[in-house]
A and B are shown apart, each in its own frame.
Chain A
Amino acid sequence: MPDQLVFAMEVFLNGLMAGVLYALVALGFVLIYKASGIFNYAQGVMALFAALTLVGIMEGQVPFSHLINAVFGTDVHHFGWHMPALVSILLTMAVMVFLAWAVNKLIFNHLVNQEPIILFMATIGLAYFMEGFGDIMWGADIKKLDVGLPQGINIPIDETTYGWFGYGFFIDNLDIVATVIAAILVVALVIFSQYTKQGRAMRAVADDHQAALSVGISLNFIWVMVWSLAGFVALVAGIMWGTKSGVQFSLSLIALKALPVLMLGGFTSIPGAIVGGLIIGVGEKLFEFSVGPLIGGATENWFAYVLALIFLVFRPQGLFGEKIIERV
């Protein structure tokens, strides 16, 4: 087998893995957009906030320690404990549920029946608020996150591929774990939204708020539920990205990469978010590998957006987006 093809295969696999992470962020967007028509710009920051909180709880960091020390002249930084990863994840999830409740109580309850653009602006405000809030609460330094996920090159794959091609593929264990978790998450979410009572109510709310109210579905409950789910997805994404490249504020920028993913997959489709993520991940890696050298590289920065633009022209609802029902 020619070397180029073997390399391309490795690039393809790595692209798939990167795509899974994009997809995880995109998934959070889809959930909230589907149920409330809100395009949640703050989804990326939510992932960051979740990761920061997780690290803080695990390391026993005192929240707002800089603020407390500055005001009271104390010198507190740590509670001096090390929380087990699983307990910390559960506690962080509780924080995300509280956040979901607070966001709905303080912001969106006051914006019922407003234009989508107003809701969108509110989420931009929320994004910057949470970024600053996370900063004050946990500090701005880059943190290492280790919840015990396996990391580093996967030896069996390396050896097997070496045996086949005479060239070992470099696949990160973390990426494999991320893929498995994302797959489980998607299957669970699809089952939830298609086959459970609350999932059905969620889709009903997405279709028609007024009618949902009229059959006795509480919009508030559904929205808090959906934001909590999105918070959970953000937490998973935050763990993956945080483990991979440290918990830092650039994490909130991955939200921007989720945008082309959504345009490709469709804003309302859970499987679409995954497929879109994979296409973008594979596409940008392969493009960089094949065309990149010819035009001076750095294509990964723009490839996703150009691809999304092309999609917008030819299939505006995305690959899996809900068909816009028009009866004639």
Chain B
Amino acid sequence: MLDAAETQTETLLEVNNIEVIYNHVILVLKGVSLKVPKGGITALLGGNGAGKTTTLKAISNLLASERGEVTKGNIQYRGERVQDLNPSDLVKKGVIQVMEGRHCFEHLTVEENLLTGAYTRGSSKSEIDADLEMVYNYFPRLKERRRSQAGYTSGGEQQMVAIGRALMSRPETILLDEPSMGLAPQLVEQIFDIVKSLNESEGYTFLLAEQNTNVALRFAHYGYILENGRVVMDGPAKELRENPDVKEFYLGMSDEGRKSFRDVRSYRRRKRWLS
């Protein structure tokens, strides 16, 4: 399944067979492994509760504050074990998460929100100002609204603030959780276009968790499909788009007409075998 081009590029982030337990009892991830190559957009797909957000939080180490922990497996960034680091150390290493549901600082202005992204940097004011201009370049809408409180901006603008804020930390890898959530299709398209151009022209690496399989597979290079805390399928985005199971179960189309429940069950069995 491996793409020739993919084997050549350096793997930035590697997740090896991790298990995550919340509150010491709730097993959420049951052995997830994935690789994020440098300069790629890797998509993490799956329905509600499949474990996409948990995987991202396990990587960015935001689990601890929700009483979750990685109990098995390991996470490596540039070949270095990172799962015991603080989120702030990880941000300094260049991995930052844009959380699901945007999570702006409501009472801070748009510009102040962006500036908090540069918190871990010891850079001079002029460098930070330059980066602020870069973010405004990608999101001109934010420049217009720089003085308004983030809580009063629209959902799309808040998503832009959240992404822009992450950019301000000068990251290498951005973990982007569900950027399409609650946004109109047109806005989703716009956000993904920006992600794509950030990837292509600035070289940011993305790991993208998304329910909207259709959009995600159009923009991503490689995809992993999660179900019930396990990776059930992975492959280059192009192949996943063509895969009949993915088409039917995630893209909502099928060339063979309706399938009966029996087929569905056999599909599930097959999947388990695959993982």
Task: List A residues at the B interface (Cβ < 8 Å).
Answer: 112-113, 197, 200-201, 203-204, 206-219, 322, 325, 327
Contact = CB atoms under 8 A, between A and B. Distances in A.
Interface stretch (B61-69, B210-218, B260-268): B61-69
B87 interface: yes
A214 B152 contact: no
- Among A204, A208, A327, max chain B CB count under 10 A is at A204
21 contacts: A112-B65, A113-B66, A200-B108, A201-B119, A204-B108, A208-B103, A208-B104, A210-B65, A211-B103, A213-B87, A214-B96, A214-B97, A215-B165, A215-B166, A216-B88, A216-B90, A216-B91, A216-B96, A216-B119, A216-B169, A325-B106
- Among A113, A210, A325, max chain B CB count under 10 A is at A210
B117 interface: yes
- Among A201, A214, A218, max chain B CB count under 10 A is at A214
Given A214-B62, A215-B165, A203 B108 contact: yes
Contacts of B91: 215-216
Contact of A216 (B104, B106, B120, B152): B120
B221 interface: no
Contacts of A217: 88, 116, 119
A200 B108 CA distance: 8
Contact of A203 (B65, B98, B107, B152): B107
Interface residues on B, range: 20 to 34
B27 to A, nearest CB: 20
- Among B105, B112, B152, max chain A CB count under 10 A is at B105
B199 interface: no
Contacts of B104: 208, 211
B99 interface: yes
A214 B91 CA distance: 8
Interface string B47-89: 0000000000000101001110000000000000000001110
Contacts of A113: 65-67
A216 B103 contact: no
A200 B149 contact: no
B116 A325 contact: no
Contact of A214 (B87, B106, B112, B151): B87
B94 to A, nearest CB: 11
Contact of B105 (A197, A203, A216, A327): A203
A215 B105 CA distance: 11
A141 B116 CA distance: 48
B39 to A, nearest CB: 23
Contact of B116 (A112, A204, A209, A218): A204
B92 interface: yes
B101 to A, nearest CB: 10
A215 B96 contact: yes
A214 B99 contact: yes
Contacts of B106: 207-208, 325
Contacts of B152: 325, 327
B116 A200 contact: yes
